[in-house]
Structure 1
Amino acid sequence: MSSDLFPNADTPPLADNSRRSFLKQSGGILGLALAPPLASQAERLTAYSKVIQGATDITLRVNSQAHTVRVEPRVTLLDTLRERLDLTGTKKGCDHGQCGACTVHINGKRTLSCLTLAVMQQGKEITTIEGLAKGDELHPMQAAFIKHDGLQCGYCTPGQIMSGVACVQEGHATTDAQCREWMSGNLCRCGAYPNILAAVREVASQSSKG
C-alpha cells in the first residue's frame, strides 16, 4: 500500500479519550489563567478573620463590684465566676444550658452563664446568688424558699432562686400555670417543684400588693 495515499499511516488516529483529555487539559489551563492569584485570596480571607488569641485582661462588674480577671476568649462566664472570682454559688449542672443551675442576671435579665462568654459581658451588670441578700437580710425569694422548704439537695437552688426573682420581675408568675411555664427551664432532680412554686407565687403576690 502506497504511503502517498496514507501519509500518516504509521501514526494512529486521535482516539475519543485523547480528545476528551486534550479538552480537559485546555480547560484547566484556561481556568488557571483566569483565576485570581492564591496570595490575594489568602489576603482577603485574612482580612475578614478578626481572631483574638490568648488570654486577655477583662473587667467584669459582678454584684456591684468591678473585678479584673485574665481569661481566654473561649472561657464561659460560669467558669470565670467559679474559678477566677470564687463565686461558687452559681452551679455547673449540665454545662449545656439545659438544667438552669447556672442562672445569673445580666442587666436584670436571667441568663445561662454556662452558655455565655465572659469576654462579652464587659460593661454589664452581673448579679449572682451571692448578690441578692443585703448583708444579713435575705432577699424575699431566699426567705420564701426557706419558709416553703423549696430545696432538698440544694444544688439547683441558686439557679431556681435567680430564675424565680426574674420570673416575678417579668410579671410571669401571676398564676400557677404561668409560673410553671416560665420556670420550666430550671430542673430539680429531687422533685421539689410544688414547694418551689409556692415560694415563687408567694413573692409574686407580695410584689403585686406592694
Structure 2
Amino acid sequence: MENCYEEGNSMRSVRENITESFGSRNNSSSVEEVVGNVEQLIAEGRLEEASLFSYKALTSLCESKPGMAGSFLNNLVYGPYSKSIPATLTLIHLLTAKGFPPSCADQVAVLPLSIVYSVPQGSILENDVLVKAVFGLIEKLLHMALTEPVPLEKLHTVYLELNTFLSEFSKVLSENGGAAKFKALFAQIETMWTRLVSTLFSGSDTFT
C-alpha cells in the first residue's frame, strides 16, 4: 500500500518527524499537525495516503505514548474522517489488514463506538459496507486480545469499550427494525466474544 502514492515533500517531512514529535514531552501540537494534514489529504481526495499517514502516526504513538492513542483516534474520527465515509472505510480496512501494536488494543477499541457516533445515524444504518467493516475491525481486535500478550487490564478495557458499542448499536438497530441484521453481524464475532467474556468474567452476567 505504501507504493500506491507519491508523497509531497511537506507530507514526507511531517511523517519523518512523527516518531520524534510523539516521543517528546509536549506532543499536543504534533497531534494537531497530524490531524490537520490528514484533513488536507482527505479534502484533496487522497484517501489512501490519509489513512496510511494516520496509521503511521498511530503506530508511532502506540510505541511512545500508548495512553494517548485513543484520544488521537477520536480526534481523527470526529474531525477529518467524520466528513468522509469513504475515508473512514479506508482507515478501517488498513487497521484491519495491517493490525496494530498489542499495547494499543485498548485504545483502538474506542473506534467502533466513535465511528457510529461520528456519522449521521441514517448513514450508519443504511451503509452495510461501513457496518461490516466496523465488525471486521472488532473481529481483528478480539483475535488480538485472545492471541497476543495483551495485559489483563487492557483486555478489560477492550471488553468495556466493545460491550458499550454492542449494546448501543443493538439498541439503534432494534429501534429501526434491524434486530435480525444485528444478530447476523454478531454471529461472526460471537465465538471470540464469548471467549473474551469467559476469560474476564467467568460466571458473570454480560452483554451476551
Q: TM-score, normalised by structure 1?
A: 0.29
Greater helix proportion: 2
Q: Which has the larger radius of gyration?
A: 1
Q: TM-score, normalised by structure 2?
A: 0.29
Greater strand proportion: 1
